[in-house]
Amino acid sequence: MSKILSYKGLIENNGIDKILLSTNKGERGYRIKKFQLIGSDLTGVTQESCVKIMLTNPGTADGVVDFSDQRLLAVGFYEQNTSSSYFGDQVVIFDHKVFNQDIFISHIEGTATPPDHNVNYYVELEETKLSEHDAMVATIQNIRNLQ
């Protein structure tokens, strides 16, 4: 039987948040079920935010999206422009890959008026119990991603 865990936060421009998930034996696996974004200031601002969920710490936030990067679990783009016809548009894509280690959420802003806006994120993870073999495979994959 699986359960759903939710995490939410406010991340600043160029910020990286860490969600602690790892255990000593890696016996719990996780899969992204939902990923949503919304700006922190919804009154009269223009904002473009790129938020990524990675299996390893990216070191610095960037807006480069490369689906061949095996460390990339999800990407979300949030855009609002209160002076035109769109407000709060978002595109979110995530992998259904099972992982058993900590994950990292990064945010970089494209164009914002005024600059340096934060963005809120909401992530739901499905938690499942992994067999000893599956835990070992997931851990080894994560170690390979560190290299």
pLDDT digit string, tens, across residues 45-98 = 788 899 999 999 999 999 999 999 989 999 999 988 766 555 667 789 998 889
**Which residue carries 């948040």 as its tokens?**
17
Q: The tokens of 16 are what?
A: 């990286």
* 113-147 per-position pLDDT tens digit: 566 789 999 999 999 998 888 888 887 777 776 65
Which one-letter amino acid corresponds to residue 28? R
Query: Which pLDDT value is given to residue 86?
Result: 59
> How far apart are the C-alpha atoms of 121 and 81, rounded to whole Å?
19
pLDDT of 34 higher than 90: yes
Q: What is the CATH number of the domain that holds 141?
A: 2.60.120
Give the integer Cα–Cα distance in Å for 54 and 74. Answer: 7
Q: What is the tally of structural domains in the chain? A: 1
The answer to whether the beta carbons of residues 113 and 46 sit under 8 Å apart is yes
Residue 21, Cα to own-chain centre: how many angstroms?
14
Distances (CA, A) of 120 to 50, 66, 78, 101, 126: 11, 23, 10, 23, 20
- % of the chain with per-residue pLDDT over 90: 54
* Domain that residue 22 falls in: 3-146
Answer whether the bond into residue 58 is a cis peptide, omega within 30°: no
- What's the rounded Cα separation, in Å, for the pair 130 and 98? 10
Query: What's the chain's average pLDDT?
Result: 87
